[in-house]
Structure 1
Amino acid sequence: MNIKDIYQLYTTSSGIEINSKKVKKGSLFIALKGKNFDGNKFSHEAISNGALLAIVDNKFFSCKKTVLVENSIDFLQKLATYHREKLNRIPIIAITGSNGKTTTKEILICILSKKYKKVHYTKDNLNNHIGIPLTILSMSIDTQISVIEIGASHEKEIENMCSIINPDYGYITNFGKAHLKGFKNMKGVIRGKLELYDFLKKKKKVVFVNGDDPIQLSNSIGMNRYIFSEKKEINPNINIKYLWKKSNLKSILYVDNITISSSLVGNYNLYNIASSIAIGNYFKIPFNDLKKAVEEYIPNNKRSQVVVKKNIKIIIDCYNANPTSMIKALTFFNDHIKGIKMVILGDMLELGVFSNYEHQKIVSFIEKSNIDVTFLIGNIFFHVNTSYRIKKFLNKKNFIEWTKKYIIPKTDYVLLKGSRELALENLVYFIS
């Protein structure tokens, strides 16, 4: 069977599955291999669970209902590319960047849904070389518009994903110190993110630009661009003003002197909100609907989420962490929050040779701040130099054991932030 034949089978199937235990009757199973697993071993189980066909890349697991391919991941990406070509009339907005991709995507979905009944988008964290083709393959023929998130940990990754997505529009949230192990340095980060611009420029597509970001502004010259900015002198397509003052854990923007208030915490989220407003404005979402969508959005995904426990306001911002997002969150917490403040921070991962240096910089910031109580959790933070003000723990278990013996100091506000692997949100139960 060639790609055309398998695609034809896919169009009448119940979808694609890569987990044999989740196979639905009539689905196609694609056996993927990773460092710690080999999906080929479960191809027979997938078929017995109702799969029409299993795609394998190990001939040892071939049988009557399998198709042998050279590489299953390559096949998945080719199938997604073929599907996108068939549905090329559907506009796709691609979003990438070091921080704020998911938050921007989620606000944008709320805005677009005010106009479009069928908005397709990246679910969960399916934004890598496997998640993106699965997301594309989940796009139905009646989709009116799609928002695809692109994550990347090294150069050429965004370029490769764009060849699958074939986006009509694109936005880069920012350029920060994320995945430095793969990108090597900040120049690598910038080159990697700008691969989205390269693709859109070649295809003469539209790029949404934060005019307050000099990297975005200078690298989008000559492109078909739609600019939002606070600076009227650059003649933006939409002028947005930000309230940078203390705002009681609210993010506030002004568009044409109309106030838009968001439940998202932190001035670092203002650009995420602004970009979504700008894109919604480009797609002619009625402004009252746009405002309503932003104000209705309540984060509940461990990104700038606020919970209140016994009068303590806890900011849960621990879906992920890198040096740029960590400093922005700490700066906001230090400068814009009044009261007794505590931070519980976890290691920032995937920083390679920059790891110790960047963690030490975080500690230096805290020691000069007006933050009252600091707890650091993780092997990297545990081995940096700190003063007596900061309490360090090798892991989360040790921190929890400590809370059973000692009373956590009284506080008004807590910031929880760390890389996803540490799952710091579980510590909410131990804060009181």
Structure 2
Amino acid sequence: MDDDKDGFTENSGDCDDKNAEVYPDAAEICGDGVDQDCDANDLICVSEDKNEVTLSNGFKVSFVEVVYNEDGTSTWKYAVEEMPEAKDLSNWVLELPACVTVGDAAPVFELVSPDPNAGLNGIKWEVTDEFQTGEFTITLDKLWDKATVKVAAKGPDVVLGEIVGPSCEEVVFEDADADGFTVRDGDCDDANADIRPDAEEVCGDAVDQNCDGNDAICPEAIDDDKDGVTENDGDCDDANLNVYPAAAEICGDGIDQNCDGEDTICVEDIDDDGDTFTENTGDCNDADATIYPNAGEVCGDGVDQDCDGFDLTCPEDVDDDGDTVTENAGDCNDADATIYPEAEEVCGDGIDQNCDGEDVICPEDIDDDGDTFTEKAGDCDDADATVYPDAEEVCGDEIDQNCDGADLSCADVDNDGDTFTETLGDCNDEDPAINPEADEICGDEIDQDC
């Protein structure tokens, strides 16, 4: 967001988005302590003849940075803009606060020229009451439009990374790599922004990212459980001393002791026959896919298909009526204890008591003489085929052929077919015209109506 409406945002380089006169490429006002063009420096004021540039209080208006070297040299940098063309700059004054000290020794400063052909090395500075001031002349090449003058401080006990502000009240620490930490803060490599006290340490790379004096040992290289094997060596659980490559594997405990990527399945946990049941889940014969818990049981085959501990007894093998004989043993009605092989047969009752496939026929039901009548059917002499109900009766032979209970008396025989016998009053049973109900013919000397 462009807060000051100057056409630039902080993201596009506006270093003060509350001031519309401050933005990249704005007109710079020298010596006012404000960086109008956002180049990180205030423009140094130059005299009208451009022969002389005075840095009055360089910390405030022209100070750039201080760089410390490991040998104890601090380099103080000042930016110079709008350099004159091939002119000598005389009376250039660099002012350092008197509070900048190097222990008990008197500060000695040496000018280091940014231009190798300027030949300015060795210029000495002296200390005043308030400022350490050095005056010198620099000749700059006309091709330079900007230069940096470096002032180096040398001496014993120089504190690395410390910068004292113009008022001597503010202590500033140089952050050369802009990682938020100076050497004083513990930055052990201020030229590398990835190295600082709060950096995440990368173990095992031989670099001390967090400046604790050591490269972190990778956890994988530490034998945490003291089993002689680290994660780098293949220990898949370095918190358990029983887990490492070549450890004895315990099957079925859910732990990969030997770090081969899986727990060994116990034999009882392996489904050998592919019926989806193992011995541990109740398969009582893991070599036969038809045998497992709740499988369909086949009765009487001597095999426990459903693994309930028993072979199912077929119904035919069960003695339902308690007569000690089952259907498989020949009981043809295992619901009736009177019916079984060798039971006593009751003839003629329609029941096969002895399970021989038929009911025994009672003697009275047998047609012994072949006349198609049995004793039960009324044959009064089943040994004589001429004797049976409705057989033709022979009178006077003392045989009851028709089984009506009596032998027919010959007198009772209707010899002439007029439906009357002698017993019934037929006075001439040889003439059908003569019977008790015949019409009498008068005068013929025959007694027709008897």
Structure with higher helix content:
1
Which of the two has higher C-alpha Rg?
2
TM tier, smaller = under 0.3
TM-score (norm 1): 0.21
Structure with higher strand content:
1
